[in-house]
Structure 1
Amino acid sequence: MKIVMMTDSYFPTRDGVVTSLTITKGALEAAGHEVVVAAPDPGESGRLPGVVYFPAAEFRSYPGYYLPLFRSNKMQVIGSLDADVIHIHGIALMAVKALLCARELGIPSVATFHTMVEDTMEYYSPIKMPRELAGRLVWTYLRNFLKRPDAIIAPTQSTADELLAKGARPREVRIIPTGIDTSRFRTGEDGTAIRGRHGLEGKNVLIHVGRISYEKDIGVIVDALAHLPEDTVLLMAGKGPAEESIRALAAEKGVGSRVFFAGFVPDGELVSYYAAADVAVSASRFETQGLSVLEAMAMGLPVVCTAHRAFADFVKDGENGFLFDGGGTECAAAVRRALASGEGIRRNARRTAESFSIEVSAAKHIDVYEFAIRSKMERKEARGRCRSSKRS
């Protein structure tokens, strides 16, 4: 099968959408399918071979992201690829262009719903407006968008439930978590070198992996650190627009010397960073997947997460991780439980992660692609029969 993945974000940008797309692309290719990526053009220095780039301008409100604002011949380029299906990653301008390509070229389309955009509007919208109004506008748009692809993929049941509760009425919804490569995230890895690099010897290390952005509520973790012993530190593996804000908050809370910023961590070092940690933590209420938490669980790390959205789907408090609902005080209490936890938590965490196999995810993607192809064909045949009956 030949799949064109059209995405709002791609390398050199690093975010959950890019991670999910890359994992899914690799799994599909390993299963013998062909995948072509189409993305906004980040400029010559950021281009990768084999990618179809749409002319774009940088999104000033969100550095590192690009908007395909310009007219081009890229629809013809997509048509020349002779794709079996278009897989849409995102809901912004590239997603709209993907829907137009699918409609004009007669190609079935599937969209993965990655991001609860409503939660990001107050930080990144170029037009400032009350949160409630922004939410209404976003969901008006999303309800219209989500009914157009032949199928919608939700990474978790809670995401699917939220879409339906907000009034979205997709033609088909499938629950397909992004798979993770548990053979890569091994429990026997050594994090000694990473601890030495950052001066973390003898410390209880909390790790946060991912983009440092406002909607991730990282400030809750910084606040929690102020309620924990001096030998407990936070290692931030990632970068993003909220970094200076987090540095300032850490200084204000008196824990500036206990927060370590590693910057962007290459994939080849990520496993060692997890191995250097004692607990993985996320305070985000925004996640539709929580891939970094699943990676940590695959490493056998105790995890501490908010009891919201994706995390509540696969983290069971006191069984394979620890959940909290509230602010820094509640987060700190969950961290204490995680630091005191035994081998059973680690074993159960690893077992949970193993259920998110990349092979199973790839097979489910092929199944939904085949459904989309059949569904589009059936609708086309039904329209043909309707026209024939009207003529007769």
Structure 2
Amino acid sequence: MKILYLTSTFHPSTNGVAVCVKTTMETLLQKGHEVTVLAPDNSSVKDDSKNVIRYSSVTNPLNTDYPLPIVPINSKIIDLLLNTKYDIVHAHHPFHIAWFADTYAKRYKVPFVFTYHTKYLMYADIYLKFLSKKLRTNIVNFGTDYACKSADLVFAPSTAIKTELINKFPYINVETMPTGVKFPNNITNENNYLRNKLQLDNETKILLSLSRVSKEKNIQLSIESLKNLPTQYHLVIVGSGPDEGNLKQYADNRGVSNRVTFFGRVPHEDVPNLMNSSDIFVSPSITETQGLGLLEAMSFGLPVVSVKTEVSTEWVPFSIGMVTENDSRDFAEGILKVSKNYDENKKCEIKEYASSFTLEKTTDLLLEKYQDVINRKALTIALNNTGWQSWSIDTKPVLKIPARNYPPQRDTYLAPAIQESEEKTNKITGWCSWYAYFDRISEEVIKNQAEFIYKNQEHIPLEYVIVDDGWTKWGDWRSVNSLKFPHGLKQLASEISERNLKPGIWLAPFLVEKDSDTFRDHRDWLVSYQGILSEGFKVTPLLDRLWKYKRYILDIKQQGVREYLYESIHTLIETYGFKLLKLDFLYAPYFDRNLDTKEAGYLIHHFLEELKMRYPDVHINACGIPLVTALGVSDSVRIGPDTVAPYLDGLPLISSYINSLKVEWAVNTINKRHWTSKFWINDPDVFVCRKSLGLSDDIIMRLQNTIIKTNGNILLGDDLTELSDQDYKKYIYPLFAKSDEKITDKLILRPAEVSNV
């Protein structure tokens, strides 16, 4: 695997991020992977690995351990990036570093990964106090929000931070990734390293503090806790930083300076000496997010006392350490408790626990997550290369008409993690009303078709009768047009079921028409942008404003909207008895300009996921759906545009030309998507053959062959009572025949005969 790391801090800096990037790089290289690190210049650098390329930086006057990185670009980096394609681009810093990483990843269509290493706002509150609270909050949120929302995968150092990020951005892909530590295999350092160096006797209990010496590390608490500890407890503060002078003065003022040693900064490779010769590791930091120091200490068998943070609560179990309040008395009490209970058995127990976080194991987990996101990115690209949503017939049109076939901006929704499977076996057959009657349906029309199918099931083995558009106004999914369906949907579904058929029903859940009760009573449910309602039918801007099919988008981020939709669907399924949902125009949330595409995709996927969880036995047929969002949550998916336009019936020349063109588009698109049958049942749309459509025999046969080859759903879209015996023999029967079955004349019962049976 070729991996590109971009970081704002690196060796010889000794902060957690720098150590994490360096040790992870080294472990990946040992495992045979190719890793390149783009890191800022550092005046202390003496030599670098060939895998590290430095870019310009300036000295940070507030913290020398964090040089201020300029944009990671120079002639060497340009040459590298132009001639190398990486499998993963991983940024370890937000702001311009993440932007650069994301830009490169998009250019080469590879995953962009971001690690949310720390609580950036907390650091801003400490180091950027010269800015107003609002301004520094906006700056931090701008940089971190961009990185999190742009990334294909975000790593959080703890479950608590993962939860925090998901609560803020439910639609991003976040995984917990603890920072691995080098587990000491053979300790050869002398156990008395610190005692000898500091001339401390064997009775002295050495408390080790290892961190940057700065205000956010809260080291003052450790010094203050000495006032509540016996005199044999000695604090060794390892590290350097801007707060060192203040802390020395504080220790002197508190009368404990003789029990505190400021050891200074040490190379990371010298840390084993310190760990192996200490008694307790103390971590008073209130900004800890990685837990690197905690886990590293435990890998040496050291008991840990830490102030309560998300990380310490997660990584320090009560049985092997203490998590205390940010209070010197409580902190001292924690030190005394772990000191009292510590022995050789406890040391072994602590080591055993820490062994779960070795660099070997965390890097294996990292590689597993890398491979997963690589696979998901590849699947996303492969699906989008066939066209964005069900009806998209190409990916690079001269004119984006109709607009709904193309994402309004770059679609960043990533394919969910799903398992490929063998081709689905629960394919459906049926009849759909829209293609025969458009929206001019009625109870009588549906019942006549159901009765005809029932009497001819021996010849036409159909399973479903689908009531398509026309049964209600768009958006009023709880009501029915009583003029068309005087006895209601429940009785209609019952009568279909009595004929050994399954009732199915169509709805466009995310769209509302202006004449609906929902539009009138719940304008607050509708999406608006800059005070204007958002239209979701999306043909062209002019037609969207003028014609009768104007439809408005429901805001499915609102809980009330989702509850309305779920309750409406519950009624259709549980009260009325429908066994199939044909869900249409599912792309609509993408045209909510208040959402980015990743969130829109998540909302669609989550809506379908919830439906599938509630009604696992109901067949969900997804239409007009961005293909990536359908993965794992739809039984069957439309993989092409409508085969015909039934509203053109009766216009011979226009109908013939347009419908022939539509069949051609459908066939070409379907043929590009046969391979998607490993994820869902392919639905190639209906088969039609009636004369009024103006289709030539060659066109009809091409459509028939495509549907047979697709080996997915088979749905019919003509008035079945009006087709001739020749139509059935030539066009219909072959759709259901086995490959070795000879097509023979079969007896079809006509309407008059059906009524007499």
Same fold by TM-score, threshold 0.5 exceeded? yes
The answer to whether the Cα contact below 8 Å between 1:321 and 1:345 also exists between their aligned partners in 2 is no
Q: Which letter maps to 1:96?
A: W
Residue equivalent to 1:339: 339
Normalised to the residue count of structure 2, the TM-score between the two structures is 0.49
Instruction: Classify the secondary structure of the residue corresponding to 1:120.
Output: helix
Number of aligned residue pairs? 388
Q: 1:246-276: per-residue Cα shift (whole Å, max 9, x none)?
A: 1122112111121111112223431121122
Q: 1:54-88: per-residue Cα shift (whole Å, max 9, x none)?
A: 22222223223223335644345333233211111
Give distance in 2, aligned partners of 1:3 and 1:145: 18
Give distance in 2, aligned partners of 1:46 and 1:375: 40
Q: 1:357 to 1:44 in 2, by over 3 A?
A: closer
Higher Cα Rg: structure 1 or 2?
A: 2
Residue equivalent to 2:33: 33
Give distance in 2, aligned partners of 1:235 and 1:44: 25
Give distance in 2, aligned partners of 1:78 and 1:277: 46
User: C-alpha displacement at 1:47, in angstroms?
Assistant: 5.6
Residue equivalent to 1:115: 118
Instruction: Classify the secondary structure of the residue corresponding to 1:355.
Output: helix
Q: 1:359 to 1:45 in 2, by over 3 A?
A: closer
Unmatched tracts of structure 2, length 5 or more: 398-664, 666-757
Identity %: 26
Give distance in 2, aligned partners of 1:374 and 1:295: 33
Residue equivalent to 1:18: 18
Alignment root-mean-square deviation, CA: 2.3
Q: Does 1:80 align with 2:83?
A: yes
Q: 1:210 to 1:145 in 2, by over 3 A?
A: same
Q: 1:352 to 1:136 in 2, by over 3 A?
A: farther
The answer to whether the Cα contact below 8 Å between 2:295 and 2:354 also exists between their aligned partners in 1 is yes
Residue equivalent to 2:381: 380
Residue equivalent to 1:175: 176
**Residues 136-155 of structure 1: pairs in structure 2 closer than 5 A:** 137-155=139-157
Q: 1:310 to 1:11 in 2, by over 3 A?
A: same
User: C-alpha displacement at 1:185, in angstroms?
Assistant: 7.4
Point out the more displaced range, 356-365 or 10-19: 356-365
List, as ranges, runs of 4+ consecutive aligned residues in structure 1 with deviation greater than 6 Å. Answer: none
Residue equivalent to 1:97: 100
Point out the more displaced range, 1-10 or 155-164: 155-164
Instruction: Classify the secondary structure of the residue corresponding to 1:164.
Output: helix
The answer to whether the Cα contact below 8 Å between 1:298 and 1:349 also exists between their aligned partners in 2 is yes
Give distance in 2, aligned partners of 1:108 and 1:79: 17
Instruction: Classify the secondary structure of the residue corresponding to 2:26.
Output: helix
**Residues 1-392 of structure 1: pairs in structure 2 closer than 5 A:** 1-43=1-43, 45=45, 48-50=48-50, 51-69=52-70, 72-73=74-75, 74-125=77-128, 127-130=130-133, 134-135=136-137, 137-165=139-167, 167-169=168-170, 171-184=172-185, 186=187, 189-201=189-201, 202-317=203-318, 319-343=319-343, 344-386=345-387, 389=393, 391=397
User: C-alpha displacement at 1:233, in angstroms?
Assistant: 1.0
Give distance in 2, aligned partners of 1:58 and 1:297: 34
User: C-alpha displacement at 1:10, in angstroms?
Assistant: 0.7
Q: Which letter maps to 2:225?
A: A
Give distance in 1, aligned partners of 2:83 and 2:312: 41
Structure with larger RCO (C-alpha < 8 A, sep 6+): 1
Give distance in 1, aligned partners of 2:137 and 2:166: 15
The answer to whether the Cα contact below 8 Å between 1:305 and 1:323 also exists between their aligned partners in 2 is yes
The answer to whether the Cα contact below 8 Å between 2:63 and 2:241 also exists between their aligned partners in 1 is no
Give distance in 2, aligned partners of 1:147 and 1:124: 25
The answer to whether the Cα contact below 8 Å between 1:185 and 1:298 also exists between their aligned partners in 2 is no
Q: 1:142 to 1:169 in 2, by over 3 A?
A: farther
User: C-alpha displacement at 1:46, in angstroms?
Assistant: 5.1
